[in-house]
Amino acid sequence: MTIQSRHGAAGSASQAGETRERQTPRVWTLIHKRCGDNEQTLALAEALRWPFTAIELDTPKANGRRLGEWRRAWHGVGSAPGSRLERPDLVICCGCDAEDFARSIRKAAGVGNTHLVYIGRPRARFAEFSLVISTPQYALPARPNVVELDLPLHRARPDRIAAALKIWTPRFAHLPHPRIALLIGGSTGPFALDAPAAARLARRASARARATGGSLLVTTSHRTQSWAITALLDTLDAPAHIHRWSRHVAENPYLAYLGLADEIIVTGDSMSMIAEAAATGKPLHLFDLGEGAYAMREDAPIGRQLWLRPQLLARMLHFKMVEALMPPDRRRDIRRILGNVVASGRAAWLGDPLPADPLLTSRHGLDEVIRRIQSWFEPAPDSAEAR
């Protein structure tokens, strides 16, 4: 387990003053191996504008740390000098591994002493969390401690994009405008980014760039599989800058792509990249990984026969079997989010006309979340004032 102290995004003077009037809580964020979960966790912690401590669950033993160890650490009993931890007032987490760890912290601290905020769909009872932040794909029941956002939380803030542009803009000076960012995810659920789908995406993105005399800014992600990358790169036929995501490559132009792009194409599997792209307000295209009856969009035209694509057919059959055995409240349907994004005018399916006026992702849901969390730590009214 690694512990790092971090601070949220700097706010205005009025926001800083408002925060000082409240009790400043001790905030922990739980970080683990899934990048998408971590981005959402950090996004919320930074939006709160409080200092926070990132607890990186980098070893299997971290999740199994005994409750007694936490109590001794909080009280400084039997711990090395300087290793004492302050009991957290607020723990933010996303993902199953982090959920188990957060619940063990809450149990060790004593129920009622630590607030837990979970992002996504928890496995435990909703009553174990102070707040659950979800999106339409999970179709969670309406409860007092559940808030549904239209898209996932993200960290593609204007200040971070501007910082990336300072570094990367000179490196892309040779690429002609308009520039089209091509953000590539991977297979998910019943939808496969197999070699035929990757080649189809490359052909359509290249044709759009050539038709406008522009270029492509292409990035893969941690979920893009090798055969999809090969098919994509073999088929691309337009001026392009290509970034192949790797854990071992420190430099990543992703945020600069968002800032430099005149329009953006995102594969429909990645809710996080869709949220980040939508937040820019730039023309946004969604690429449907599926075809025909197995498309992501409800009004998709009839596609090729699936038996000609054994990898996709096998994935579909496996998913149907798993879904049949899964309780209805554990199922996920990303088409709910995709349909909402298109219906709201923030995006169009690749090949369809773009909305005349792209809309920014609404913040009202996030603002409600921030207000609710801050209210937990507001000072109690003065007794004289209360009278």
Nearest to 3 by CA among 71, 66, 73, 67: 73
Encoded tokens for 146: 């559940």
User: Given a cut of 80, is residue 187 above it in pLDDT?
Assistant: yes
- Percentage above 90 pLDDT, the chain: 53
Q: What is the pLDDT of residues 319-350, one digit of tens each?
A: 666 665 666 665 668 889 999 999 989 999 99
Q: 40-54 burial by CB neighbour count: b if 16+ within 10 A, else e?
A: bbbbbbbbbbbebbb
User: Given a cut of 90, is residue 250 above it in pLDDT?
Assistant: no
Domains in the chain (CATH in brackets) are: 2-150+366-386 (3.40.50), 158-361 (3.40.50)
In this prediction, residue 294 carries a pLDDT of 75
In this prediction, residue 109 carries a pLDDT of 79
User: Given a cut of 80, is residue 253 above it in pLDDT?
Assistant: yes
Strand partners of residue 26: none
In this prediction, residue 355 carries a pLDDT of 80
Q: What torsion do the CA atoms of 354, 243, 339, 336 make, to the nearest 10 degrees?
A: -170
Model confidence at 207, pLDDT cuts 50, 70, 90, reads: very high
Q: What is the mean pLDDT of the chain?
A: 83
Q: What is the pLDDT of residues 255-283, one digit of tens each?
A: 999 999 999 999 999 999 999 999 999 99
In this prediction, residue 283 carries a pLDDT of 94
Q: What is the pLDDT of residues 19-53, one digit of tens each?
A: 445 578 999 999 988 888 999 999 999 999 999 99
Packed helices 195-212 and 226-235: angle between N→C axes, nearest 10 degrees: 30
Model confidence at 96, pLDDT cuts 50, 70, 90, reads: confident
Strand partners of residue 148: 134
* Residues composing the chain: 387
The structure tokens 């199953």 sit at 96
